[in-house]
């Protein structure tokens, strides 16, 4: 949505939260094959087929990112430790037992482990924040002032991925002292993403994020900036059609779960694809 006025971040976050619950027993590799349009419209987690728990994840992450009501002690919102506790309590209520599920306690496959809970909370929270910033940053006013953005390390990591190589492999160029900068409409942003989405997070626990680059700074670095009308037209063209068509997953159980989750928001086409309603 290209508008002439800046978009309040609250409105941008609300756009990011319009997602359907997708309980499924599919693993990470199968879920990564989902079309990006499905990925950003669904709440899911690898091998989490319990709708009640998935709904609790959605509510908890929403309260963490964009609180809409006060907590019992009168504060607005929750922190990550409180979010983790909420999910642990929900798992106890549904009787979750990692050993009964045949997974190693404390591993990433264990729904109740701190490692798994942190991954679920951080990834989903960052997805909402990233989509919110993406929507906000593509208004006409934002593109006029900040047509580009930079990929940078926001959080330190002991083991760092080679983002420069990943950036170059996706067609990105380096500016200045090796800075990874590109227009907001550049396909490099989707190209570097493990999730196939043009906004952060670009991988699990990467610690990488984006920050806006002003028109003046971008020009000083040597970036070619198109006219604003061209830039906004390109941004608008990249937006999904109102009723995009995507292929169903080859995994039958995942395809069935998808059709159930989006029962009132998809229609099957004659060629076996699904048409997503806006």
Q: Per-domain residue ranges for the chain?
A: 9-133, 145-238, 245-276
Taking alpha carbons only, the member of 262, 247, 251, 246 closest to residue 27 is 251
Is 172:184 a contact under the CB 8 Å cutoff?
no
Phi and psi dihedrals of 257, rounded to 5?
Answer: -60, -40
Global pTM? 0.87
The DSSP bridge pattern shows strands 42-43 and 20-21 to be parallel
Report the chain (278 residues): mean pLDDT per 10 consecutive residues. 56 69 93 89 93 94 77 72 96 94 93 96 93 90 96 94 97 95 97 96 96 96 95 86 77 90 83 78
Any residues with CB less than 8 A from the CB of 46 and at least 6 apart, and which? 26, 27, 28, 31
Torsion 71-77-80-84 (CA) sign:
positive
The residues pairing with 213 across neighbouring beta strands, listed in sequence order, are: 148
Q: What's the CA gap between 123 and 135, in Å, rounded?
A: 18
Coil vs helix vs strand at 122: helix
């Amino acid at each position: 949505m290209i508008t002439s006025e800046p978009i309040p971040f609250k409105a941008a976050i609300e756009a990011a939260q319009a997602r359907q619950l997708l309980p499924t027993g599919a693993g990470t590799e199968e879920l990564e094959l989902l079309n990006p349009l499905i990925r950003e419209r669904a709440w899911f987690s690898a091998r989490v087929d319990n709708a009640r728990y998935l709904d609790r994840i959605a509510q908890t992450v929403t309260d963490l990112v964009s609180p809409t009501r006060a907590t019992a002690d009168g504060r607005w919102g929750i922190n990550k430790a409180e979010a983790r506790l909420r999910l642990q309590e929900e798992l106890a209520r549904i009787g979750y037992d990692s050993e009964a599920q045949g997974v190693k306690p404390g591993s990433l496959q264990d729904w109740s482990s701190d490692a798994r809970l942190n991954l679920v909370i951080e990834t989903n929270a960052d997805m909402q924040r990233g989509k919110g910033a993406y929507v906000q940053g593509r208004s006409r006013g934002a593109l006029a002032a900040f047509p580009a953005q930079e990929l940078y390390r926001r959080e330190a990591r002991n083991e760092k991925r080679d983002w420069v190589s990943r950036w170059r492999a996706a067609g990105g160029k380096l500016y200045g002292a090796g800075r990874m900068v590109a227009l907001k409409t550049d396909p490099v942003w989707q190209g570097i993403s493990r999730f196939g989405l043009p906004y952060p997070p670009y991988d699990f626990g990467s610690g990488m994020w984006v920050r806006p680059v002003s028109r003046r700074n971008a020009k000083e670095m040597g970036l070619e900036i198109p006219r604003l009308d061209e830039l906004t037209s390109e941004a608008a063209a990249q937006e999904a059609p109102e009723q995009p068509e995507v292929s169903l997953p080859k995994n039958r159980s995942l395809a069935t779960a998808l059709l159930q989750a989006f029962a009132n928001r998809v229609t099957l086409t004659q060629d076996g694809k699904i048409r997503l309603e806006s």
